[in-house]
Amino acid sequence: MSHHIVELKDVTYTYPDQTEALRGLSVRITHGESVAIVGANGSGKTTLLSHLIGVLFPTSGSINIGGYPVTKKTLPHVRRAVGMVFQNSDDQLFMPTVYDDVAFGPLNLGFPPEEVDARVTAALTIVGALHLKDRTPYRLSGGQKRSVAIATVLAMDPCILVMDEPTAGLDPLARRQLINLLKTFEHTKIIATHDLDLVLDLCARTVVLSAGTVIADGPTLDIFSDEELLNKAHLEKPFRMQGCPICHPPKQ
């Protein structure tokens, strides 16, 4: 695939109930970028991500990933390049053991058993979960499930990592461990999240959605310093940009 560029041009998507979730949305993400997709509930974040893996297809407009238009015919190519970690890890883990879950994708791609085993071992080692390989997924903690869900994607060796609310439901330690793990990845990362402090840690660029369209796209610090823009998007500054309420109390 050519440079694994992700490009959406004037994408509109209307759900069967006539809810217009995306409205003329355009964005271009180049190889190696880490990009946050932020916005209030209902702004179109998850709908956008679903288009990147061919779960949904545009009502109008076009999506191109690594030189391939995203269509039903090109899905095998697209899904080898793009790996998605869903918000709820239970949607991604369904096999009897962790090993089986991580092996599922490579097996379906037709890799021989020795290659599958190597991919599973490597992916679980990267996320620090090799010791869990014989465990039953539903008995894992939230942080462990998230790590294993990421491993299921890494075993497919994608060039583009897409994540929907990756820190949702994690305790503070598990959240920090996940952020530190994601910092080591050289993949193109596209992260939809409400966790704006995570965005500060991981994403140099932020795209702001409102009512299904892009209202801002630029350097993360510039975006989060623009209070008028944040108010328009129904967002607040990340906690560590808000200042101490004791040292700097709001003016009466």
pLDDT, tens digit, for every residue of 94-133? 999 999 999 999 998 889 999 999 999 999 998 889 999 9
In a domain, 139, yes or no: yes
Q: Write the DSSP symbol of residue 125.
A: H
Residue 37's identity, in one-letter code, is I
Is residue 115 a contact partner of residue 106, using CB atoms and an 8 Å limit? yes
In a domain, 187, yes or no: yes
In a domain, 250, yes or no: no
3-class DSSP state of 133: coil
**Domain count of the fold of the chain:** 1
Helix then strand then coil, in percent of the chain rounded to 5, is 40, 25, 40
- What CATH number should be reported for the domain holding residue 143? 3.40.50.300
Q: What is the CA radius of gyration of the chain?
A: 19
In a domain, 33, yes or no: yes
In a domain, 1, yes or no: no
Burial class (CB in 10 A: 0-12, 13-18, 19+), 74: middle
In a domain, 247, yes or no: no
Give the domain range for residue 154: 6-241
pLDDT tens across the length of the chain (252 residues): 445 789 999 999 999 999 999 999 999 999 999 999 999 999 999 999 999 999 999 999 999 998 889 999 998 888 888 999 988 888 888 999 999 999 999 998 889 999 999 999 999 998 889 999 999 998 999 889 989 999 999 999 899 999 999 888 888 888 888 899 889 888 899 999 999 999 999 999 999 999 999 999 999 999 999 999 999 999 999 988 887 665 555 555
E runs forming strands in 114-202: 160-164, 188-192
The pair of three-digit structure tokens given for residue 99, joined into one six-digit string: 């090993």
The pair of three-digit structure tokens given for residue 220, joined into one six-digit string: 């993360």
Q: What pTM did the predictor assign? A: 0.89
In a domain, 248, yes or no: no
The pair of three-digit structure tokens given for residue 122, joined into one six-digit string: 């490597």
Is residue 167 a contact partner of residue 210, using CB atoms and an 8 Å limit? no
Taking the C-alpha atoms of residue 233 and residue 241, their distance in angstroms, rounded to an integer, is: 17
Is residue 118 a contact partner of residue 112, using CB atoms and an 8 Å limit? no
The pair of three-digit structure tokens given for residue 46, joined into one six-digit string: 């998850």
Distances 59 to 3, 62, 137 between C-alpha atoms, Å: 26, 9, 37
In a domain, 91, yes or no: yes
Taking the C-alpha atoms of residue 156 and residue 174, their distance in angstroms, rounded to an integer, is: 24
Q: How far is CA 109 from the centre of its chain?
A: 22
